[in-house]
Amino acid sequence: MFASKSLAAHAARGVIGLGTLAASALLARDLLWASIALLPVALVALRGCPMCWTVGLIQAVVARARGERPDGVCDDGGCAGGPAGRG
């Protein structure tokens, strides 16, 4: 649900998101407007909160270890876990 299609894409979003969060914290004392402007960039890159990104990272790593795609198995257009795959 939270994981990206590839581990590299997920890691890139993490570098951008966590980097902008760190920059926002460092700039908060001197340039408050820049700090506030960086927060939406971080939230978009992380797709919400840092915890959601962490859960997605764990899902991506587990899926890669199992040899699956992080978004589930959808070979014929119907996912095995969804309503279309149960019928």
pLDDT digits (tens, 9 = 90+) for 6-26: 788 888 999 999 999 999 999
**10 vs 75: which has the higher pLDDT:** 10
Hey, what are 29's tokens?
A: 């004392």
What is the reported pLDDT for 26?
Answer: 93
CB burial readout 55-81, b (16+ within 10 A) else e: ebbebbeebeeeeeebeeeeeeeeeee
